[in-house]
Amino acid sequence: MSVKFADLNLDKNILSALLSTGYESPTPVQAQSIPHALEGRDIMASAQTGSGKTAAFLLPTLQHLTRRSDKPGKGPRALVLTPTRELAAQVEKNALTYAQNMKWFRTVSIVGGSSFGYQIRALSKPIDLIVATPGRLMDLMDSGKVDFSRLEVLILDEADRMLDMGFIDDIETIVAATPETRQTLLFSATWDGAVGKLARKLTKNPEVVEVERVDEQGKIEEQLLYCDDMRHKNRLLDHILRDANIDQAVIFTSTKAMTEVLADELYEKGFAANCLHGDMPQGWRNRTLMDLRKGRCKILVAT
């Protein structure tokens, strides 16, 4: 007999929101993580992208937030750290979906590329959930705009990616500012090496959840092509991109400047190409990603 969300003792408002979005049964990572998280246990969960891990940490966190805080102040009761702005936006969107019937629920996204003024104003009011990238959150912490005295739940999403991106010092500084009584939920593709060491440092007697990876998309074919010089390299790239079997492609470059140069060159050759890098305004980044999703952008050149 399969487990249903209704079997997990979630608040009726959360269950209603799940049913309205068509979710009835939890995925394996949700079924294994949520009951332990509801008991207040720390979690170390290993699961691949697309496994439903966002709901695995948001649902028990929202359930926790249905109980009133007995601590004064305006600081967040829960914090989610993510490696990128795009992932932060997705996590916040999911949180608002699951909390759609919790009319009092307030969340704010703290990421680079957005207005400092808006984020500071949002933090001046009581906050239930902050979804943040480490760099921008550190900026606001350094200016004394973030109070973690009320924090009850800390979540690190894609912890391995954050370490790969060099955020380990920021993460340790942020965690040191949170109460030791917090519940900690960590999600990562792997617990090997530095990320496992960090996880053991941040958690207390965690429940370890490991969901077997499922190869649903088959194997990726890898080819290595040798070129003589830049002109030869460009001819090879042109040949590959003109393959009729290729509908969309992503090209990675070593520098931000090169993304713009290459995207312009491809556009002049007739390709529907655009670039994406960290120095672009957030609105521009969002439009570029939307064009990619809608199929208007066929070739994305990115760092």
Residue 1: what pLDDT?
Answer: 52
CATH class entry, domain 5-210: alpha beta
Contact 175, 100 (CB under 8 A): no
Q: How many CB atoms lie within 10 A of CB 101?
A: 14
Span 230-302 CATH architecture: 3-Layer(aba) Sandwich (3.40)
At 7, phi and psi to the nearest 5?
A: -85, -5
Q: Which residues of the chain have pLDDT under 70?
A: 1, 213-219
The single residue listed with the structure tokens 């194997």 is 219
Same fold, 5-210 and 230-302: yes
The reported pTM is 0.74
Where in the chain are the domains? 5-210, 230-302
Instruction: Write the pLDDT tens digit of every residue in 73-123.
Output: 889 999 999 998 889 999 999 999 999 999 999 999 999 877 788 888 888
Q: Please tell me the predicted confidence (pLDDT) of residue 246.
A: 84
